[in-house]
Amino acid sequence: MDRRAFLTAGGMAAVGVGLSGCGARGARPATPSAAAPKRPLTLAPVKATWDRIVRTTVGLRPHRDAGFVLKPDTLDDRLLIHNYGHGGAGMSLAWGTGLMAAEFATEHQARQAAVIGCGSVGLTAARQLQRRGFDVTIYALAVPPNVTSNMSLAGFTPASGLVEQDRRTDEWDAQYRRAAEISYRQLQLMAGPYFGVSWLDNFTLSDQAPDPNRQQGNSGRPSLNAGFDAGRELYGPGEHPFPTKYAIRSPSIRIEPNIYLDALVREFLLWGGHVVIRKFDAPRDLMSLREPIIVNCTGLGARELFGDRELIPLKGQLSVLVPQPEVNYHTQGGLRPQPTQPGSLAIHMMPRTDGIALGGTSQRDVWTLEPDEGERQRVVESHMEVFNAMRGLKA
C-alpha cells in the first residue's frame, strides 16, 4: 500500500448476544468439535463483465494520520466545535462523533447552532443537535448527491482509512471506541428501506486459514475492529461457492448512500432545519453567521478553511455494475495476491439498489477526481476472475 500501513475495512459484523441454556438439568454442553458439517452455500454469482459497467465514481476521503478531530474551540465569541477527518469511516462513525459534538454544544447556554458541511458527518451532527432541542441551520457548498459521502462504498467499516497505528493515543482511542459503539447501535435501529440500511452477509475470501488472534493491532494496542466482529463463521473447501480455499462469513451492515443521505436531509428538514448554500474561504467568514455555536464538519475542506495541513485525501474509486437483485452478499478479497503497489487495496464488492459497486483503491495524497484507468482495470478484472470461477454448489 504505502510507506505506512493503513487500517482498512474489515470489522463489519454484529455484536453477539449470549442466551442462557434452557435444556434439562445435567445436560452435557455442546463442544466446538461436535459441530455438524456445514450445509454448502448457494449464492448467485455477480455478472461481472465490462459491458455491464454503468459508471465509475471518484471520492476523496479526508484522512489524518493522527485520526479524526473532535474537540471544542473558540472563534472570537463563538463556540467552535471541530468534527472532521474521518477518512473512509465517515458513514460508520458519524452518529457517534455527532452525538459527542452535540454534547459539547449543550454546555453553551444558547440553542442555535450552525453546522458547516452537508455530508454524512454534517447531517448526523445536525440531527443529534436537533434531538437535543437546538435550532440548526446547515451551511454548505454542496448537498447530496453532490457530496463525498455519496461516493462511498458505505458499510459499517469504522477503522477504514482512519488512523496510523503509531499515532494512536489513549485519549483518541477512547473517543473512537465510544463513537463506534454509538454509531453501530444507531445504524442497527435504522435498518429498513426508508434509510437504506440493511444487514447482509460479508464473505472474506482467502486461500490462507484465518488467524484466530485478531484482537491486537501491530502497535500492541487492541484492534480498532475488536468487538465488532462477532458472529464470524469459517467455510472451508467444498462448503462455499467461491474459488478460494476459505470464505469467512460475518453479519455486515450495508448503507446505500443515495437512499440514506436523502433520508437524512428529509429528516433534518422535517424537524425544522434549514439548508443554506454558501462557501466559506476563511474563519473570519464564519463571523457573519447569526448562530453562536458553529460545528465544523467540512471534512477535507478543513485543510484550507482552518489550516489543518495534516489533512490529506485518500482517493478512492468505484466501478458500478448493473444491479442484480438476486445478489445479496458482500465480498472482500479475491484470487490475486494482496497488492503491494501504493494505493491498491484488496478488492471488495457491495450490491446496492443503484448498482453493484466494485472497489479496492486508496491513493494517498492524490487530489485528482479523474478515474485511474490502471486501477479500474485491476479492480474490475480481479472481480471478473472471482465471479466467473464461482461454482454452483447445490444445497
Residue pLDDT, tens place only, 96-121? 999 999 999 999 999 999 999 999 99
Backbone angles phi, psi at 126, to 5 degrees: -65, -40
User: C-alpha 169: how far from its chain's center?
Assistant: 22
Residue 69: predicted pLDDT: 98
pLDDT tens column, 325-336: 999 999 999 999
Region of residue 333 (phi > 0: left; psi between -120 and 50: alpha; otherwise: beta)? left
Against a cut of 0.75, is the pTM above it? yes
> Rounded CA gap, 107 and 8, in Å?
35
Q: How far is CA 265 from CA 87, 272, 275, in A?
A: 22, 11, 9
Contacts of 367 (CB under 8 A, 6+ apart): 60, 313, 315
Domains detected in the chain: 40-63+312-395 (no CATH), 65-169+189-196+256-310 (3.40.50.720)
Cβ–Cβ contacts within 10 Å for residue 33, how many? 5
> Cell 445504524 belongs to which residue?
187
Indicate whether 137 pLDDT > 90: yes
Check residue 163 and give its pLDDT.
96
Three-state SS letters, the chain? CCCCCECCCCCCCCCCCCCCCCCCCCCCCCCHHHCCCCCCCCCCCCCCCHHHEEEEEEEEEEECCCCCEEEEEEECCEEEEEEECCHHHHHHHHHHHHHHHHHHHHCCCCCEEEEECCCHHHHHHHHHHHCCCCEEEEEECCCCCCCHHHHCCCECCCCCCCCEHHHCCHHHHHHHHHHHHHHHHHHHHCEECCCCEEEEEEEEEECCCCCCCCCECCCCCECCCCCCCCCCEEECCCCCCCCCCEEEEEEEEEECHHHHHHHHHHHHHHCCCEEEECCCCCHHHHHHCCCCEEEECCHHHHHHHCCCCCCEEEEEEEEEECCCCCCCEEEECCCCCCCCCCCEEEEEEEEECCEEEEEEECEECCCCCCCCHHHHHHHHHHHHHHHHCCCCCCC
- Which pLDDT value is given to residue 164? 96
Summarize pLDDT for 43-87 with one digit per residue, the tens. Answer: 999 999 999 999 999 999 999 999 999 999 999 999 999 999 999
